[in-house]
Amino acid sequence: MKKRNTLLALALTFGMTVGLAACGSGSEKKNDASKESSDAAVSKVANKDKPLVWFNRQPSNSSTGELDKTALSFNKDTYYVGFDAAQGAEVQGTMIKEYIEKNIDKIDRNGDGIIGYVLAIGDVGHNDSIARTIGVRKVLGTGVEKGKSINSEPIGTNIDGKSKIVKDGTIKVKGKSYKIRELASQEMKNNSGATWDAATAGNAIGTWASSFADQIDVIASNNDGMGMSIFNSWSKDNKVPTFGYDANNDAVAAIPEGYGGTVSQHADVQAYLTLRILRNALDGVDIDTGIGKKDDAGNVLSSDVYTYNKDQRSYYALNVAVTAQNYKDFSDSTKVYEPVSYQLDKTKSPEKKVWLNIYNSSDNFLGSTYQPLLQAYDDLLNLKVEYIAGDGQTESNITNRLGNPSEYDAFAINMVKTDNGASYTSILSQ
Ligand code: BGC
Ligand code: CA
Instruction: Report pLDDT digits (tens) over 85-104.
Output: 999 999 999 999 999 999 99
**405 CA from centroid of ligand 2 (Å):** 56
Q: pLDDT, tens digit, for every residue of 260-319?
A: 999 999 999 999 999 999 999 999 999 999 999 999 999 999 999 999 999 999 999 999
Please say whether the beta carbons of 364 and 254 come within 8 A: no
Q: Ligand 1 test: best mutation among 363, 395, 413, 420, most atoms within 8 Å of CB?
A: 363
**269 CA from centroid of ligand 1 (Å):** 15
**Nearest ligand to the CA atom of 215:** 2
- Write the CB contacts of 360 (distance below 8 Å, at least 6 apart in sequence): 194, 366, 389, 390, 391, 392, 393, 416
**Nearest ligand to the CA atom of 179:** 2
User: Is residue 9 pLDDT above 60, yes or no?
Assistant: no
pTM of the full predicted structure?
0.86
Q: Which atom of ligand 1 is nearest to the CA of 57?
A: 12
197 lines ligand 1 (CB under 6 A): no
User: Is residue 3 pLDDT above 60, yes or no?
Assistant: no
**181 CA from centroid of ligand 2 (Å):** 9
User: Is residue 18 pLDDT above 50, yes or no?
Assistant: no
Please say whether the beta carbons of 7 and 43 come within 8 A: no
Please say whether the beta carbons of 288 and 279 come within 8 A: no
**82 CA from centroid of ligand 1 (Å):** 10
Q: How many helices (H) and strands (E) does the chain have?
A: 14, 17
Please say whether the beta carbons of 408 and 371 come within 8 A: no
User: Is residue 2 pLDDT above 70, yes or no?
Assistant: no
User: Is residue 75 pLDDT above 50, yes or no?
Assistant: yes
Using only the alpha carbons of the chain, give its radius of gyration.
Answer: 25
**Residue 307 host element (H or E):** strand 306-309
Residue-averaged pLDDT of the chain: 91
pLDDT of residue 220: 98
pLDDT of residue 43: 58
Mean pLDDT of 216-222: 98
